[in-house]
Structure 1
């Protein structure tokens, strides 16, 4: 016949437990026994830590004594005079030559600082093209044109870079701005429009001619296509109303997926060539 467990009270925690057999009047449950074992282990570890701490203090004391002995020994060694041997002089040295480690300069870059290092040009001769990664690799066939690419940049990033130039009293004959692709991902159309307005207004204080390069057609889903199309339509009207020249890249890239890379967003080499021609044509033909 199978034994039946009985309910007993633990003498430590006074909680009921089920047990098949109880030896004597004192009963300790499994949890209390584990607590006792862990408590003993903790006490043992604390004792070892205290012992190690005292040993480390002894080691430091011995090291201090040895250091003091070495200092006194070096100070008591008399300086030997060089021994003259014919035309040669022998010199005994008691210290090793200090090794000089060559330092390799570390190049630090900041994607928001390249404009400050741009060559200073005369306002009547220089033009600035600034934008996100879409303008990477563009080749502007126009004299004295600075192209600054800020990968991942949104309108506030472009504004921050222009602010750096504005504080340095930099002026340009023309400023071309290309931004918006990264902004539409935030799904905040009105905020994006306000940010673009602020960028253009700041650019106007630095140049008499401001040009906005419109977004490219994107083939990365219906949503981003729709948002970029809407932004392009708004830009074409707003730029006309605010005396800002507008480059309608959408018209050039529409229906041409071959002009984009496999990501459906950045221009391929053919797309870069077409974008470069659009920018060059606008820079060379807009009236200053």
Structure 2
């Protein structure tokens, strides 16, 4: 029986994977911090010894970017030391490790989309610890695939979409940064991708090379009419959310929305201005969805 270990089940990527992997006919072990703390060496070793996975999908992560600035030890524990422990155990039994990383490993000063081989230079603790996790995996394991993604949203957990819907109900002013650009990515697309990678690994068809991949959602036809390197800003993303919401609650959705600069917003952590990823490497194998269509899907579920 093909065995798949999934960490971080309760997060939005983890829950999306759960929805899509249960009918594959595999022996799947779903874990979260209550059942497997990936930063606990004894727990990780015990799970690998008893379950002996063929594939490990690491969806666990410390993702609170601002909080990480004051809680660097916890962020490093989950984002760096945890992947190190998983890499060590995967190496010992020959398992494939599929790991999620982020555009925050880059400083955002480039005027082009980031490719997999660009030099990382993180601006904050979150980005630094995610880069450390990548480096540990590459140092101790050769059988891995790292998926760098950005601006993940879904119908699950807390994310930018659910936050905007909550803030809109409060009628309070909503200030959103308009000079940071990226690519919103639907967690369900990431889940479908890792299931496809696991299938490829089982069948040994070799469609996916080992190493790094960038993966973020496509903007669809509307994005093809504009500069592909421009992406969308957080403000653009918020406007799209309220545009979809207006179909269910006609009125002045997002009327309290105001565009501000990064300096005016003054968040705790410094964020990259350009977080746009070039996905040309993976696109011939697996193409992402139009994020606006997936946003429509998420709003529809939320408003049902």
Using the size of structure 2 for normalisation, the TM-score is 0.39
Larger RCO (alpha carbons 8 Å, 6+ apart) = 2
Larger Rg: 1
